Structure 1
Amino acid sequence: MKRSGILNPQLSRVIAETGHTDLLVVTDAGLPIPQEIERVDLSLVQGKPAFLDVLREVVTELEVEKIILAEETEKISPNMYRDIVNLLPGIPIETMPHEAFKEKTKQAKAAIRSGEFTSYANVILVAGVVY
C-alpha cells in the first residue's frame, strides 16, 4: 500500500509519466474533455472533490513551469482565479479565450476531472523539469 501522496493509481501513474513540457489539465465537472486524451475522473458528487483540493495535490507531485487559464476566469470567477494564482506563486501565467483553451486541451497528456461546479475552474499545467 502506498504510504503518502496521491493514492489514486491512475492519477499517480499519469503524473509519474509526465515529462518536461507535457500538458496536464485539471478541470471542473463541466469542461468537455477531448476523446483523444486520457481522462482521470475523480468526480464524486457536486463539489467533491473540490477543484482546488485536486490541484493542490497534483502540484505537490508535479513540477510546473507555467499555467494556462481561460481569460474569462478572472472576470467570471475572480475568487477561483486568485486561489489558483496563490497556489502557484511565481509560476508564469498565460491566458487565452475559453474557446482556444478548450482547443489547447487536445494537446494534453490527460485531463483530471474534479467535482467542482465553479465556472472556469480549469487550468492547464505545463510540466517543468526538476533539474
Structure 2
Amino acid sequence: MLKNIPPILSPELLKVLCEMGHGDEIILADGNFPAESIGKDAIVIRADGHGTVELLEAILQFLPLDQYVEKPVALMKVVDGDPCKPTIWDSYKQKLNESGNDPAKIEMVERFAFYERAHHAYAIIATGESAIYANVLLKKGVVQ
C-alpha cells in the first residue's frame, strides 16, 4: 500500500497512468461500452463495481490534461432521436472544475467516431457505471 493514493486506483491502473505519454488517450467506459472488443489493441483494465465519476475524480489528481489541444476531454454524444439527457455529464464538469480544469473544454463526439478513437486509445477502463452515455475520454498532457 502507498500513502495518499485513492484506493479506487488499482496498481494496474496506476501503472498505466505512469506509462502513458503526452497525447495518449484513456477511456473511462460505462458498463454498456464494448471495452473488450474495441480495446483489442489497448490495455483493458476492469474496474467493475466502480463508477466513472469516482474514477475520474481520482485520476484527475494525477493525470494532467493536454494543454496544447483545444478540448482534451471527450464525451460520447447522444444518438440523434434518443430522448436521453445524461445528467452524469454535470458531475464530470464538476470534477473537472474541482481539479482545476476547464469544464468548457469538452468535445462532444458522435458515437461511432468515439468508438474509432477508442480503437486507438492507450487504455480503456471498463467500469460498472450504469448511467448511459457515461463514457469519457481523457488526453494526457505534460507535467510542468
Instruction: Provide the alpha-carbon RMSD of the alignment.
Output: 1.7
Runs of 4+ in 1 over 3 A off after TM superposition: none
**How far 1:123 sits from its partner (Å)?**
0.5
Alpha-carbon spacing, 1:2–1:84, altered in 2? closer, same or farther (3 Å): same
Q: TM-score if structure 2 supplies the norm length?
A: 0.80
Whole-Å separation in 1 of the counterparts to 2:132 and 2:20: 27
Query: Which residue type is aligned with residue 59 of structure 2?
Result: V
Query: Which residue type is aligned with residue 125 of structure 1?
Result: L
Alpha-carbon spacing, 1:13–1:68, altered in 2? closer, same or farther (3 Å): same
Q: 2:92 aligns with which of 84, 87, 93?
A: 84
Kindly indicate whether the alpha-carbon contact (under 8 Å) linking 2:77 and 2:133 is maintained by their aligned counterparts in 1: no
Q: TM-score if structure 1 supplies the norm length?
A: 0.88
The percentage of aligned residue pairs carrying the same residue is 27
Q: What's the counterpart of residue 110 of structure 2?
A: 97
Query: Which residue type is aligned with residue 85 of structure 1?
Result: K
C-alpha deviations, 1:7-30, integer Å up to 9, x for none? 511001000111111000011111
Q: What's the counterpart of residue 20 of structure 2?
A: 18
Q: Report the secondary structure of 1:116's partner residue.
A: coil
Q: 2:32 aligns with which of 30, 33, 47?
A: 30
Whole-Å separation in 1 of the counterparts to 2:85 and 2:58: 21
Consecutive unaligned residues in structure 1, runs of 5 or more? none
Q: Report the secondary structure of 1:88's partner residue.
A: helix
Kindly indicate whether the alpha-carbon contact (under 8 Å) linking 1:67 and 1:123 is maintained by their aligned counterparts in 2: yes
Q: What's the counterpart of residue 44 of structure 2?
A: 39
Q: 1:68 aligns with which of 74, 77, 92?
A: 74
Query: Which residue type is aligned with residue 88 of structure 1?
Result: L
Alpha-carbon spacing, 1:51–1:77, altered in 2? closer, same or farther (3 Å): farther
Kindly indicate whether the alpha-carbon contact (under 8 Å) linking 1:71 and 1:95 is maintained by their aligned counterparts in 2: yes
Q: Write the mapping of 1:49-60 to structure 2, written as runs, cut at 5 A.
A: 49-60=50-61
Alpha-carbon spacing, 1:115–1:77, altered in 2? closer, same or farther (3 Å): farther
Kindly indicate whether the alpha-carbon contact (under 8 Å) linking 2:28 and 2:137 is maintained by their aligned counterparts in 1: yes
C-alpha deviations, 1:52-106, integer Å up to 9, x for none? 1111111111111310111218x72431111112211315111111111011101
Count of aligned residue pairs for this structure pair: 126
Query: Which residue type is aligned with residue 110 of structure 2?
Result: P
Query: Which residue type is aligned with residue 60 of structure 2?
Result: V
Kindly indicate whether the alpha-carbon contact (under 8 Å) linking 1:77 and 1:118 is maintained by their aligned counterparts in 2: no
